[in-house]
Structure 1
């Protein structure tokens, strides 16, 4: 799917949130909007479960277990409605985040832009290494070589090692 087409589909779902906001909680319009939005997300992001899970993680206040039923019924209704509206706000934020993700990371053809990195050369040369390998790696390599050299010098002073090398040389 092309970038603009994906943005348009998600934007339509963002605009359509006004319908379930205007009608009673968890009515048929909410069910339709929620399912349509899930289908759009699945289509836009090619079935990527992370995006679907992000959208489905929104709590619209359908669980009444956390409410104090000693409160008057009108208070309970207001709290449930407030949780429902907050859920719709969160869903809208997630959808807007999806749109921002597409704008930033997709190319016009709908492909995720490649990360900019070091272009691998045909041949790895000393000048290429000097320009592309961080200085701390050069310092670590130099330290490792110096340590190996000094260890070799110290080892050559040990009589057992002298004997081993003189035996193999005969």
Structure 2
């Protein structure tokens, strides 16, 4: 995974290419390559389902509503305006890296985040595969939150050497709580929930807000990943809940992952 300095350098390279692209006709082969290279870079740095790639993909490089009467100059102007927006967004990414990435843990943490995100996004596929065994042999069927934790623990061990289940969190409001998993070296905590009847978007959101506040002061937690397994689609707007609760919370990077998405 790229270091903080290399990440800044790569984003600057994409920005430095923009003036030359503006001099070319819209959607030239050079622009097509630049656009894809930038998308890949953003996904590699921040993840595939983050606000960062969504913000970049929202940029319009052409006229939104066009007709036969729309002059060619309008398309070229929209193309240049799109490049200006792209430059502003890429500069914002650089500012975020400069302001919020810890030099000592940034590369490892981002790599860790990408790995766990992939595991969570493919979790339901693993569950379905486990149900299909030769001669209908017994298997693990994920029915409740404990089953989710057990299977996720096994999958994490494929990628991480030190996975600590149920570590104590600091005393809060007169009582201690347990976190589901701590990756101490990566300074990452994973909280697991399974959506079900009476635990929909509102209830899950309320629980996650409490979790975020609790882990904000934990000395071993720089990244909090909240994995919500929702095989029945109990959460009506999963993307909205992810976007509302993910982000930087007073120095704690929070990533909410709801999977699967129907």
| TMscore range, shorter length | 0.5 to 0.7
Which residue of structure 1 lines up, in the alignment, with residue 102 of structure 2? 107
Structure 1 pair 70–39 and aligned structure 2 pair: CA distance change class (3 A): closer
CA deviation after TM superposition for structure 1 residue 5, in Å: 1.1
1:79 and 1:59 map into 2 onto residues whose CA distance is: 13
Which residue of structure 2 lines up, in the alignment, with residue 93 of structure 1? 88
TM-score with structure 2 length normalisation?
Answer: 0.39
- Counterpart secondary structure, 1:10: helix
CA radius of gyration, larger in? 1
Which residue of structure 2 lines up, in the alignment, with residue 37 of structure 1? 38
2:41 and 2:9 map into 1 onto residues whose CA distance is: 10
- Counterpart secondary structure, 1:80: helix
CA deviation after TM superposition for structure 1 residue 18, in Å: 2.2
CA deviation after TM superposition for structure 1 residue 20, in Å: 1.8
Which residue of structure 1 lines up, in the alignment, with residue 24 of structure 2? 23
Aligned: 1:47 with 2:48: yes
Normalized per residue, the structure richer in helix is: 1
CA deviation after TM superposition for structure 1 residue 69, in Å: 3.3
Whether contact under 8 Å (2:62, 2:82) holds in the other structure is yes
Which string of whole-angstrom CA distances, capped at 9 and with x for unpartnered residues, describes residues 109-128 of structure 1?
3148xxxxxx9469x6xxxx
Structure 1 segments unaligned to the other structure (5+ residues): 113-118, 125-170
- Counterpart secondary structure, 1:29: helix
1:91 and 1:13 map into 2 onto residues whose CA distance is: 10
TM-score with structure 1 length normalisation?
Answer: 0.58
1:83 and 1:38 map into 2 onto residues whose CA distance is: 20
Structure 1 pair 104–27 and aligned structure 2 pair: CA distance change class (3 A): same
Whether contact under 8 Å (2:62, 2:75) holds in the other structure is yes
Aligned: 1:61 with 2:62: yes
CA deviation after TM superposition for structure 1 residue 62, in Å: 5.1
Whether contact under 8 Å (2:15, 2:87) holds in the other structure is yes
- Counterpart secondary structure, 2:26: coil
Identify which of structures 1 and 2 has the higher relative contact order when contacts are C-alpha pairs closer than 8 Å and 6+ apart.
Answer: 1
Structure 2 segments unaligned to the other structure (5+ residues): 111-168, 175-262
